[in-house]
């Protein structure tokens, strides 16, 4: 992991926010790149943050009519409102959004409904097919949707998606993590509670990041972020949704670890936000939306002496790529350079891969 720097001060240092106006200025410069080169960049600083109201509707209500029924079986679906918020804030219509571990295609579907182009990569063939079906559903509402799903390993992004190098405006993704938060349950009379749909694919498949152990997951995710940095345009953003979890009673601070991975991949952390998984009511109260399994897990942990609470939010780490050479004066991955935008529909690229 990298040493502490002004951009990444380390776990124990206090957060000193960057003014919102400064972040907006950086975003405006990134979006105006076609008008001319950027000659200066803001001084380095720590990350700022904000709270995203992303659970005013239940997960089921957010997905109703936009996702096929088979999507429910995925063990760790991103909340659609989280993806939609990031896409609306960090991109404009027509720009390209990427999810290198797209699962059922939540990022792609929400990008399509917001008028963005979208491309996704999914390791497991079954979920790649489900994501493609969800995009077909989006096209029924918006025939002009330009989006595609590829099946492949996100650690090989530059090999799978070379034609979009330097063109992506935003990456939205989430690593596999925290088995205590995944899955669904059923109650069998006389047989207790049974958990299902809580594992990623074949648990013997060591190529799946969900099955290779925590430290190898961090190494693999750093490779993915490095590939994303090369596909992003200068000043493009990456939004990573994630949360801490407990393993053998020990708190795993995954957000801090992934922030270090991003810095190691040559990305600049600019925000650490909170995406609510609980509803905020008119009285200012937070109303958790925990599943039956999460509540059952919480009860059992409290009986063992761990004072846990229902998870009410996810962390959202926001990174960006350097805008200038001066901005990149830190260890970096492959630099993004200007590339001619592919004029072909993204679906054609996916068709070529299958062929």
pLDDT tens for the 355 residues of the chain, in order: 434 444 334 444 444 444 555 545 545 544 454 343 333 333 445 566 799 999 999 999 999 999 999 998 888 889 999 999 999 999 999 999 999 999 999 999 999 999 999 999 999 999 999 999 999 999 999 999 999 999 999 999 999 999 999 999 999 999 876 444 455 555 556 655 555 444 555 554 556 666 567 778 899 999 999 999 999 999 999 999 998 777 776 778 889 999 999 999 999 999 999 999 999 988 888 898 877 777 887 888 889 888 888 888 999 999 999 986 555 554 433 333 444 556 667 877 765 655 5
Give the pLDDT confidence score for residue 241 in this predicted structure: 96
Check if the beta carbon of residue 117 is closer than 8 Å to that of residue 147: yes
Residue 113 burial (CB < 10 Å; 0-12/13-18/19+)? middle
Start-to-end CA distance of the chain, whole Å, equals: 40
Those residues whose C-beta lies under 8 Å from the C-beta of residue 143, and which sit 6 or more positions away, are: none
What does each C-alpha distance from 220 to 12, 82, 212, 215 come to in angstroms? 25, 24, 9, 9
Q: Which candidate, 174, 173, 171, places its Cα nearest to that of 233?
A: 171
pTM recorded for the entire structure: 0.76
Q: Distance between CA atoms of 315 and 274, rounded to whole angstroms?
A: 5
Q: What tokens appear for 41 in the block?
A: 């960049």
Which of 270, 130, 266, 133 lies closest to 201 in space, CA to CA?
130
pLDDT at res. 201: 55
Supply the pLDDT for residue 178. 46
Q: 85 phi and psi, to 5 degrees?
A: -65, -45
CB 118 within 8 A of CB 108: yes
Q: Hey, is 260 helix, strand or coil?
A: helix
Strands 250-252 and 245-247 turn out to be: antiparallel
Residues with Cβ within 8 Å of residue 31, at least 6 apart in sequence:
92, 235
The predicted structure's pLDDT at residue 323: 85
Strand, coil or helix: 89: helix
CATH superfamily entry for domain 66-272+292-354: Vaccinia Virus protein VP39 (3.40.50.150)
The token pair at 319 is 């990174």
Tokens representing 119 are 């491309």
Rounded Cα distance between 355 and 352, Å, is 5
d(CA 38, CA 32): 9
* Per-domain boundaries in the chain: 66-272+292-354
Q: Output the pLDDT for position 210.
A: 60
pLDDT at 157: 93
| pLDDT computed for residue 134 by the predictor | 97
- The alpha-helical segments, DSSP class H, found in the chain are 20-31, 59-63, 80-90, 106-113, 125-141, 157-160, 214-231, 254-264, 292-303, 346-354
SS3 state of residue 69: helix
| Count of alpha carbons within 13 angstroms of residue 22, beta-carbon side | 15
Phi, psi of 114 (to 5 degrees): -95, 10
Give residue 214's pLDDT: 76
């Amino acid at each position: 992991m990298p040493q502490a720097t002004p951009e990444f001060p380390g776990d124990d240092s206090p957060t000193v926010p960057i003014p919102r106006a400064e972040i907006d200025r950086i975003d405006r410069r990134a979006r105006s790149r076609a008008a001319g080169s950027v000659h200066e960049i803001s001084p380095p600083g720590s990350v700022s943050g904000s709270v995203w109201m992303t659970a005013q509707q239940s997960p089921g209500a957010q997905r109703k009519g936009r996702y096929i029924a088979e999507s429910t079986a995925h063990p760790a679906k991103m909340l659609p409102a989280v993806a939609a918020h990031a896409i609306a804030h960090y991109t404009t219509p027509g720009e390209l959004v990427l999810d290198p571990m797209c699962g059922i295609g939540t990022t792609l579907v929400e990008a399509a409904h917001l008028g963005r182009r979208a491309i996704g990569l999914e390791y497991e063939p079954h979920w790649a097919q489900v994501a493609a079906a969800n995009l077909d559903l989006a096209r029924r509402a918006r025939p002009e949707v330009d989006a595609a799903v590829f099946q492949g390993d996100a650690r090989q992004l530059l090999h799978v998606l070379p034609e979009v190098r330097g063109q992506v405006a935003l990456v939205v993704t989430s690593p596999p993590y925290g088995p205590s938060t995944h899955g669904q349950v059923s109650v069998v009379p006389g047989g207790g509670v049974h958990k299902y749909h809580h594992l990623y694919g074949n648990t013997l498949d060591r190529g799946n990041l969900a099955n290779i152990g925590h430290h190898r997951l961090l190494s693999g995710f750093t490779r993915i972020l490095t590939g994303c940095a090369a596909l992003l345009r200068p000043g493009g953003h990456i939004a990573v949704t994630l949360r801490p979890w407990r393993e053998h009673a020990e708190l795993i601070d995954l957000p801090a670890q992934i922030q270090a991975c991003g810095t190691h991949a040559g990305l600049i952390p600019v925000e650490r936000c909170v995406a609510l998984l609980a509803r905020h009511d008119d009285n200012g109260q937070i109303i958790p939306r925990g599943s039956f399994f999460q509540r059952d897990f919480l009860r059992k942990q409290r009986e063992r002496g761990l004072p846990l609470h229902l998870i009410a939010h996810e962390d959202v780490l926001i990174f960006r790529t350097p805008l200038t050479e001066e901005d990149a004066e830190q260890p970096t991955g492959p630099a993004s350079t200007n590339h001619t935008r592919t004029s072909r529909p993204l679906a054609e690229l996916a068709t070529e891969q299958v062929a």
